[in-house]
C-alpha cells in the first residue's frame, strides 16, 4: 500500500477476509463489498431466498472482527421495544430501570426485516443514522462501532412487505449472495459432511482495529473532479425520464464513502473513477424507483441496468 496505514492493520484486514472465506465459500466479491461498507461506516441489506448463507455471513464477520453480535428474527409480532429496549418497574426499589433491546451490540443481524411491521422497522432508523436509541425521552448511545446487517426475502414471498424509502436509504449497500456455483456448493457439502473439515472463524481484528480502519478510509483523498463526477451521475438519475425517484444526496454521500473504502482496500490513498463505477450500482440501485414498473417491485437486475445506462451517459473525468 502506498499510503500511511499500519502494516499490521493491513495484515489483519487480509486475515479477516481469509477467515470469513472459511465459512462463506465462493462468495468472495460479496465478502469484499460487505467489508467495504463496514469500513465506510455503513449498513448492509442482503436480499436473497432462504438458505444461501446470509446468517452464516453475519456470524463470520462478527467472529473475525471480534464484534458483539445479536440476532433478531423479525416477525409480525416483534415490537419496537424488542429492538430498542424498554423501561421496567423494579418493584423492590420502586424505580423504573432500562432493559436494553437487541440493538445494543456491535453487529446487529436483523433477519428477514421485511416480515415485520413498518412500526418495528422504523425503530431502527435512529440507531442506523445516529448510533443511538431514545426511549421515554432518554437517548442512549449504542456500542461503537455499530453495524446493521439486515436480510430480507425477495418481494412477493409469503408474508413480506416493502421497506419504506426512508428505511432503504439508510442502508449503504444492498447486495445479493445468490446460489453458489457447482464447485462451491460441492465444497460446502464436503465441509458439512466432515466436521473435521469445518474450520472455525478465528477473531483476527478487534473493534478498536475496525475504528482505526474506518478513520483511515475517511482520510482517503477525493479530488474535486471525483466529487463533480458523483454529483453529475446522481443529478442524471433525478432527471432521467425512466425514473420516478432518483438518487438522494444521502446516496451520493454513501457512494463517496464506499469509493474511499474501495480505494483503501486496493492500496490507494486516493479515489479514481473506477472506484465510483465499482460501487455505484450496489450503493444506489435500491434508492431509485423506475416509472411504470411497480415501484420497489422492480428487480435489482433492472435497477442495475438502468443505472449502468445512466452512468454511461456521464463523461468519466480524467485524473492526473
- CATH of residue 164's domain is 3.40.50.300
Q: Is the residue at 261 inside a domain?
A: yes
Cell 456470524 appears where? 59
Same domain, 15 and 88: yes
139: cell is 437517548
Q: Is the residue at 188 inside a domain?
A: yes
Q: Is the residue at 2 inside a domain?
A: no
Read off the pLDDT band of 295 (50, 70, 90): very low
Q: What percent of the chain has pLDDT over 90?
A: 59
With 0-12 / 13-18 / 19 or more C-beta atoms within 10 angstroms meaning exposed / middle / buried, residue 228 is exposed
Q: Is the residue at 320 inside a domain?
A: no
Cα distances (Å, whole numbers) of residue 225 to 67, 155, 276, 280, 317: 37, 38, 12, 16, 6
Q: Is the residue at 317 inside a domain?
A: no
The answer, yes or no, to whether residue 106 has pLDDT greater than 60, is yes
Same domain, 154 and 81: yes
Same domain, 14 and 161: yes
Same domain, 47 and 169: yes
Name the residue among 253, 252, 216 with its Cα closest to residue 235.
252
Segment among 22-31, 196-205, 241-250 with least mean pLDDT = 196-205
Same domain, 83 and 163: yes
Q: Is the residue at 215 inside a domain?
A: no
Q: Give me the CATH number covering residue 294.
A: 1.10.8.80
Same domain, 181 and 42: yes
Q: What angle do CA 22, 144, 3 make, to 5 degrees?
A: 70
Read off the pLDDT band of 152 (50, 70, 90): confident
pLDDT tens sequence across 18-47? 999 988 988 999 999 999 999 999 999 998
Same domain, 240 and 107: no
Q: Is the residue at 91 inside a domain?
A: yes
Cα dihedral value 89, 90, 91, 96, nearest 10: -40
Instruction: State the residue range of the domain holding 255.
Output: 220-312
Same domain, 191 and 242: no
Segment among 55-59, 196-200, 242-246 with least mean pLDDT = 196-200
Same domain, 75 and 136: yes
Same domain, 186 and 264: no
pLDDT tens sequence across 45-88? 998 877 778 888 989 999 999 999 999 999 889 999 999 999 99
Cross-strand partners of 290: 243
With 0-12 / 13-18 / 19 or more C-beta atoms within 10 angstroms meaning exposed / middle / buried, residue 38 is buried
Residue 61: the pLDDT is: 94
Residue 1: the pLDDT is: 43
Query: Of 181, 208, 235, at which residue does a domain stop?
Result: 208
Q: Is the residue at 281 inside a domain?
A: yes
Rounded-to-integer distance, Cα 112 and Cα 127, Å: 18
Contacts (Cβ under 8 Å, ≥6 apart) of 218? 41, 257, 260
Give the mean pLDDT of 285-291: 89
Contacts (Cβ under 8 Å, ≥6 apart) of 315? none
Q: How many domains does the chain have?
A: 2
Query: Of 208, 237, 265, at which residue does a domain stop?
Result: 208
Name the residue among 174, 192, 117, 136 with its Cα closest to residue 288.
174
Same domain, 166 and 255: no
Residue 159: the pLDDT is: 62
Name the DSSP class of 298: S
Query: Of 178, 208, 238, at which residue does a domain stop?
Result: 208
Rounded-to-integer distance, Cα 293 and Cα 260, Å: 33
Rounded-to-integer distance, Cα 170 and Cα 42, Å: 8
Same domain, 116 and 172: yes
Amino acid at each position: 500500500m502506498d499510503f500511511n496505514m499500519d502494516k499490521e492493520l493491513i495484515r489483519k484486514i487480509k486475515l479477516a477476509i481469509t477467515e470469513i472465506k472459511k465459512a462463506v465459500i465462493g462468495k468472495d466479491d460479496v465478502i469484499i463489498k460487505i467489508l467495504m461498507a463496514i469500513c465506510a461506516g455503513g449498513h448492509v441489506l442482503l436480499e436473497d431466498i432462504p438458505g444461501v448463507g446470509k446468517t452464516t455471513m453475519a456470524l463470520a464477520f462478527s467472529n473475525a472482527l471480534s464484534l458483539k453480535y445479536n440476532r433478531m428474527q423479525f416477525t409480525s409480532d416483534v415490537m419496537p421495544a424488542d429492538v430498542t429496549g424498554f423501561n421496567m418497574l423494579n418493584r423492590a426499589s420502586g424505580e423504573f430501570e432500562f432493559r436494553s433491546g437487541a440493538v445494543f451490540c456491535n453487529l446487529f443481524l436483523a433477519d428477514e426485516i421485511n416480515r415485520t411491521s413498518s412500526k418495528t422497522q422504523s425503530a431502527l432508523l435512529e440507531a442506523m443514522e445516529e448510533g443511538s436509541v431514545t426511549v421515554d425521552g432518554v437517548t442512549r448511545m449504542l456500542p461503537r462501532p455499530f453495524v446493521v446487517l439486515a436480510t430480507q426475502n425477495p418481494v412477493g414471498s409469503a408474508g413480506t412487505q416493502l421497506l419504506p424509502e426512508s428505511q432503504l436509504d439508510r442502508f449503504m449497500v444492498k447486495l445479493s449472495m445468490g446460489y453458489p456455483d457447482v464447485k462451491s456448493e460441492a465444497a460446502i457439502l464436503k465441509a458439512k459432511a466432515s466436521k473435521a473439515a469445518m474450520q472455525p472463524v478465528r477473531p483476527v481484528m478487534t473493534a478498536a482495529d475496525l475504528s482505526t480502519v474506518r478513520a483511515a478510509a475517511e482520510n482517503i483523498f477525493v479530488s474535486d473532479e471525483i466529487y463533480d463526477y458523483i454529483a453529475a451521475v446522481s443529478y442524471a438519475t433525478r432527471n432521467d425520464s425512466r425514473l420516478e425517484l432518483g438518487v438522494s444526496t444521502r446516496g451520493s454521500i454513501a457512494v463517496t464513502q464506499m469509493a474511499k473504502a474501495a480505494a483503501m482496500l486496493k492500496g490507494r490513498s486516493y479515489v479514481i473513477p473506477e472506484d465510483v463505477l465499482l460501487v455505484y450500482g450496489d450503493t444506489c440501485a435500491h434508492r431509485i424507483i423506475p416509472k411504470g414498473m411497480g415501484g420497489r417491485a422492480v428487480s435489482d437486475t433492472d435497477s442495475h441496468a438502468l443505472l449502468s445506462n445512466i452512468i454511461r451517459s456521464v463523461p468519466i473525468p480524467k485524473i492526473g
